[in-house]
Structure formats: structure tokens, C-alpha cells
Amino acid sequence: MRDKPLYDEYGVIREAWKILPPEFRDKFLEALAELEDNECHRQRSFPKTQLHRVTGSQEAVYRAYIDKISGWRLHIMYEDGAIHLKDIISPEKHDPVIEVIKSKKYRYQKSQVQDNNKKKSNKNKK
Amino acid sequence: MVVTNKPNLSTRESLVIETTKDFTNDLNNLTQLQQKQVEAKLQRIEKAIETNNNDYLFKHLKKIPAINLSKYTSSLHLLKVNHDLRIFLFYEDDPIFNRQVMTLIKVCFTQDLNKVLKGLCESFYQENLNSLGEFDHER
């Protein structure tokens, strides 16, 4: 299975090399590796980076921890099935606090059209 | 002029509605009748989601155009409960987790809209805020 493409148009890796304390460099590499790991995306589970959606922006911006205890983290964007590194955030910069006390999930009803389209695309793959 | 984006319900598996502490506190400060009106509105939203009723959400959920950010586009929306009450919420697509997320942030009276909006922008957008216009709540 191919890995998830990861792009660094904004030079985040270079910036990380300049500002990230040396003791976090291995963790930074581990974070990048997890973001590229297609198995993590397939299972929607990111145990090292605890990848999660950043609230407040229309664009698909996510936060990935390099090291949660220290506060070093990455902002990434998800576009067209690829990960784009956007920023490396230092512990001094604080994220807005949103205290969620209740969360409820609602499944959308699948339409007949969606089901038919899915069957057609599966048939074409064979 | 209010610019509205029609929410696209068909591309994701689910919608998660998150309730914040601030929203709950605001709700508790309303009268019983007002609380029931807010809860009834949220139940109608939940029903619309469960029945894929896109039009209902589109009619009642408005994006706020007055927020100008430097890096991203704001996902702050306004949900009309009735003539007097509005709910501020974030409404966002979450493609990695194949869902959409609606985060209920504040309930406020119509006359306080601009004041509450200013406070929310200061809390959530900080140095990323380029400008904040006045929001015409009559539209």
C-alpha cells in the first residue's frame, strides 16, 4: 500500500531543524513517518501525533503533536488526499481553548445514488 | 451582504455535534422558555441531519462573512433560533476522519451579536485576525 504523500512547500522541515531543540528531532521524524503511514489513515488512528482537526478554520487544518508534554506541534493541511506541512508551533504559542463537554455522532443516511455509484466504481476496479 | 455556503452532507459518513462548556453556561442563563426554544431548534437540526435534509440546514445556518483572517478562512457560523436568539458555532469538514464537525460555542441575544462576535474572534483568531466588520444580523 502506497504511503500518504507528504509535501513541504513552506519549508517546515528546514524551520524545524533551526528551531526545534535537538532532543525532539527523533520525535519530529517519528511524527512525519506517522503522517505518511497509510495504515494510520486507513484505521484513522494516530497514536504518536494524536492528529486532530483544528477548530475555527474552513480549510482542513490539523494539529499533530511532535511532543505533547513539551508542546511542540505541527499544523498540517489535508488537500486532495495529501498531507501538506504548514507550520511548526513552539510551546510558547498557546492554542485557543475549547472545552468540549459533550459530543454526539450522527450517521448520514446513504442515498440510493451513492450506493449505486459505489457499486459501479467497485465493478470498474475489478 | 451575507454570503452563505450550502453545507454538503453527502460526502461524509457522519456529523459530530460537540457542546462546549461556554454554550452550556449560556444556555443555563436563559429562561426556561428560551432554553426549550434552543433545545427544540437543535432537535430539528439533528432530525435534518438524520434525514439528509440539506435544505433545512442551508436555510438556518449562515456563514459569517465579516471575519477576515490572514492565514485561513473562518468556519464560524450563525444558527437562528428565533427572532431574539442566535447560536454561534463552528461548522467544518474533517476529511481525514470522514466526518463533519459542528461545535456549539455560544448562545446570545440578537442585540449582542457584534459584541459576542468580537469576543469570539479575539479568543479564537488572535494575531491571525486581519479585520472584523460589523455583522448585519437582520439578513
The per-residue pLDDT for range A48-87, each reduced to its tens digit, is: 999 999 999 999 999 999 999 999 999 999 999 999 999 9
Query: If pLDDT is split at 50, 70 and 90, which confidence band does B57 have?
Result: confident
Please state the ipTM of this predicted complex. 0.85
Cβ within 8 Å, pair A105-B124:
no
pLDDT (0 to 100) of residue B53: 81
Cβ within 8 Å, pair A99-B105:
no
**Beta strand pairing status for B85-94 and B76-80?**
antiparallel
Strand ranges in chain A using DSSP code E only, listed in sequence order: 6-7, 52-53, 61-67, 72-79, 82-89, 100-107
Q: At what angle do helices B21-28 and B32-50 cross, to 10 degrees?
A: 140
Q: What are the sequence ranges of the domains in chain A?
A: 6-100
What's the gap in Å between the CA of A108 and the closest CA on chain B? 5
A110: nearest CA partner in chain B: B10
Which of B92, B98, B103, B132 is the best residue to mutate to test the A interface, defined by the most A CB atoms within 10 Å of its own CB?
Answer: B92
Residue B28, chain A, CB below 8 Å: the answer is: no
Angle at Cα B107 formed by Cα B27 and Cα B135, nearest 5°?
A: 170
Cβ within 8 Å, pair B17-A99:
no
Model confidence at B130: pLDDT above 70: no
B7: nearest CA partner in chain A: A58
pTM of the predicted structure, to 2 decimals: 0.85
Cβ within 8 Å, pair A103-B105:
no
What's the gap in Å between the CA of A18 and the closest CA on chain B? 22
Q: What is the mean pLDDT of residues B15-23?
A: 94
Q: What are the sequence ranges of the domains in chain B?
A: 14-132
Q: Which three cell numbers stand for residue B1?
A: 451582504
| In the block, residue with C-alpha cell 456529523 | B15
What's the gap in Å between the CA of B81 and the closest CA on chain A? 20
Which numeric CATH code is attached to A6-100?
Answer: 3.30.2310.20
Indicate the average pLDDT of chain B.
84
Cα separation, B36 vs B68, whole angstroms: 34
The DSSP element (H or E) to which A41 belongs, if any, is helix A38-43
Per-residue model confidence as pLDDT tens digits over A25-46: 999 999 999 999 999 999 999 9
C-alpha dihedral, A96 to A45 to B50 to B55, nearest 10°: 60
Query: If pLDDT is split at 50, 70 and 90, which confidence band does A13 have?
Result: very high
pLDDT (0 to 100) of residue A124: 56
> Chain A partners of B90 at a C-beta cutoff of 8 Å?
55-56
Specify burial of residue B24 (Cβ count, 10 A radius: 0-12, 13-18, 19+): middle
> Chain B partners of A108 at a C-beta cutoff of 8 Å?
9-10, 12-15, 49, 52
Which numeric CATH code is attached to B14-132?
Answer: 3.30.2310.20
> Chain A partners of B24 at a C-beta cutoff of 8 Å?
101-102
